[in-house]
Structure 1
């Protein structure tokens, strides 16, 4: 027999691990990554060699924010990019980790089998997550709605 504790535990574990996609504004512990930019097509590469072989031209380096993937010429600019921005949860089911087009779709994906949560509860979870609440906190708050 399923209980609401199962959902609370699985969502908490999924949100802690590397399974969750990073949403825009979420700050992780990884420092900015140095990328090599092809001078002709402006595509980013992990190594100088790959950028050099992309298009035969001059290669330059930039620093890419690991959260929003915007690149900057200076390391300090990349480090300051997403610092202090609110955390935005990804639009993906917190149980099966499947991608969704909206927070409502993500909440309805697997939480419809939650033994104590109604459609109204899933709607409230989706609204809370869209406003910046984490998936585990939103589910905990509306598990009996």
Structure 2
């Protein structure tokens, strides 16, 4: 399996500051693997809220994660200051892929880089086209 090269900071279009917590560390003194996905999810959710995309309530669109992943390049742990860089890797008819890099303490390349692929579904969980307004907002990260 080939190892991907981390993307540089300027490949990302938006940044969300995140703080590691003492509880994020595992027995080895670095961040627990499950915490990476939680940070990716938090960064994406904060960006959505900051850009007018409701994530809860009757006006929220129902995006389901259908695939995710993470590549680790260097250790992260408390008390590292993080910036989550976001960029849109793909925008389809009913789906998108958000690439997320975790930059620790102002570094030029991410310590970890992951993604979420999400599909918009209707009330019966069938894929449905992304409406124009959220599509335009998501496109700002292309």
- Whether these two folds match at TM > 0.5 is no
Instruction: Point out the structure with the larger helix share.
Output: 1
Q: TM-score scaled by structure 1? A: 0.25
Q: Say which one has the larger Rg.
A: 1
Instruction: Point out the structure with the larger strand share.
Output: 2
Q: TM-score scaled by structure 2? A: 0.25
Q: Which has the higher contact order (CA 8 A, sep 6+)?
A: 2
